[in-house]
Amino acid sequence: MAKPIGRRDFLTSSAALAGAAVTCGGIIHSHPVRAAPFEVPVVDGLVVQVLLDSSHDVFLGAQEVNGVRADRARRGPDFRKILHNQWGLSLLLQSQRSNEAHTLLLDFGYTAEALTNNMELLGVEPGQIDALILSHGHYDHFGGLIGFLQQYREVMPPELTLYAGGEDNFCHRYSRTPTEGQFTDYGVLDRQELAALRIATTLADRPTAVGGHAFTTGPIARTSFEKVLPNTMVEYAIKDGLGCDASHFTPAELQGKIVPDEHPHEHATCFNVKDRGLVVITSCGHAGIINTIRQAQEVSGVNRLHALVGGFHLGPAPVPYIAQAVAELKALEPDVIVPMHCSGLNFAQAVREQMPDRLLVSSTGTRLTFGV
C-alpha cells in the first residue's frame, strides 16, 4: 500500500511516499499549499457503491450519463430486510488496474447498525477492504466506524490503515441550537479505540496516494468565492485523553473556546480514470466544491474533470450562492455530477437548469461505474 507524504516534505515526483505516524500531541497543523503536481495513479475503472445516504428511491431506474452508469439496488429475497437510510454518507470504492483490484471504504455513516445492515444486503465482503478513509471529523461520517470494526475487524486484513486528513479529525465538535444558541454534543473520534482495534491512523495532511490507485488532496486551499457555510462548532483541546492537539491554533482556541468549524483537515478522495480524467469525491465539501476540484487538479496535474461525486454542503446555501457555484462548476466542464447527502435539492435543481445532460441521480444502494 502506498504511504502518505510526510508533513514537512514536498511531493515533486512519483517516488515512494514517506510515512507519517499519528501521536496524541505535537502534531503540526498543515495549511493548504500549492503543491507541485505528482504522478497520480491511473486506474482502468472505478465502481462507487453507495452504502449509506439519506434516502433510497425504489422507483429509480438504471441511468447512464456521459459514459457513467448507475445501477440500483433492489429488494432481496427476504422482504423483511430493507436498506437503511440516515443523515450521513458511506461509500465503497472498488478500482481496477489491469489485473489488480483495490477496495477502499470512505466514511462510515452515522451508525454501525445501518452500515452493517446495508453491507450485508448489498453483498459487501469486509475482508476485501484494503484501507479506510475518513473525509472529516463529523459524526455523520465517522459514527459507524467503531461499531463496524468491532463486528468485522477479525476478518479484515491484519494491517489496516485509516487515512484521515489531519489532526482536527479528533477534535470535539458541537452543534448549536438555532434559537437558544446552546451547545449540544456532536461527538469525538477516539484514537485510543482505533488503536485497540489495531487500526494504524495516518494523517494524510499532504496529497497522499492510497493503495496505488487513489489519491487524497491534502488540505484544500480556499481560492474561490466559496466560504464554509454554517455547520458545527469545534473545540481544540484534549480532555481525558479525547480531543485534538491545540498547540498550533489561535489564542481563542488555545483558551479552550468553542469556535466555528472551518474544517482545515477535510480532504477529498480522487481517482484518475484512464482516458476519462478525474473523479473527485467530496464527502461534504465544506471547503467548497470549486476549491476542492481545483486542489485535485493542482496536486495531480490532471485538468480534465470526469465527475464530481458526493456531498457538497450546499443544502443551507442561499439560491444566488448555489447559482454561482453551479455556474463555476459548469465552466470546469465535468462530464457527470452526482450529488449526495448534504448537497441539497436546490443544488440539484440548479444543475438541472444549467447542465441537464450531466446530472446523475443517486440514492442509498446505487452502484456507479466509471470507465471499463
pLDDT, tens only, 332-364? 999 999 999 999 999 999 999 999 999 999 999
Using DSSP's 3-state secondary structure scheme, residue 61 falls into coil
Q: Which of 345, 205, 329, 319 lies closest to 263 in space, CA to CA?
A: 205
- Strand-pair category, 238-239 with 172-176: unpaired
| Residue 300 within a domain | yes
Helices 112-121/145-152 angle, 10° precision: 50
**Angular region, 7: left φ>0, alpha ψ -120 to 50, beta rest:** alpha
| CB 369 within 8 Å of CB 340 | no
Q: How far lies 164's CA from each of 10, 82, 217, 306, in Å? A: 18, 31, 11, 25
Taking Cα atoms as reference points, which of 315, 321, 331, 329 lies closest to residue 231? Answer: 315
Buried b (16+ CB within 10 A) or exposed e, 79-112: eeeebbbbebbbbbbbbbbeeeebbbbbbbbbbb
Predicted confidence band at 36 (pLDDT cuts at 50, 70, 90)?
low
With 80 as the cut, is the pLDDT of residue 182 above it? no
Residue 299 domain flag: yes
Q: Tell whether 106 is covered by a domain.
A: yes
Q: Is residue 226 in some structural domain?
A: yes
Name 95's bridge partners.
46, 102
pLDDT, residue 23, reads 32
139 part of a folded domain? yes
What does the pLDDT read at residue 153?
Answer: 98
> Whole-angstrom Cα distance, residue 342 to residue 356?
20
Measured over all CA atoms, what is the biggest interatomic distance in the chain, rounded to whole angstroms? 59
Question: Among 180-189, 267-276, 288-297, which stretch is predicted with the lowest mean pLDDT?
Answer: 180-189
pLDDT of residue 29: 34
Name the 3-class secondary structure at 27: coil
Domain CATH for 143: 3.60.15.10
Mean pLDDT lowest among 82-96, 188-202, 239-253, 304-318: 239-253
Q: How far is 50 from 102, CA to CA, in rounded Å?
A: 17
Mean pLDDT for 63-88 is: 92
| Count of domains observed in the chain | 1
Could you tell me the pTM of the whole model?
0.87
Tell me the residue range of the domain where 335 lies.
42-371
In tens, the pLDDT along 110-149 reads 999 999 999 999 999 999 999 999 999 999 999 999 999 9
Q: What is the pLDDT of residue 90?
A: 98
Does 93 have pLDDT greater than 60? yes
Phi/psi of residue 284, each to 5°?
-135, -30
Nearest to 59 by CA among 368, 369, 361: 361
Please report whether residue 122 resides in a domain: yes
In a domain, 76, yes or no: yes
Helix (H, G, I), strand (E, B) or coil at 317: coil
Is residue 37 a part of any domain in this protein? no
Q: How confident is the model at residue 300 (pLDDT cuts 50, 70, 90)?
A: very high
Supply 338's cell numbers. Answer: 452526482
Measured in degrees and rounded to the nearest 5, phi and psi for residue 342 equal -95, 15
Q: What angle do CA 297, 202, 153 make, to 5 degrees?
A: 115
Residues of the chain with pLDDT > 90: what percent? 69
From the CA atom positions of the chain, what is the Rg in Å? 19
Hey, what's the cell of 295? 486542489
pLDDT at 147: 98
Mean pLDDT of 152-172: 93
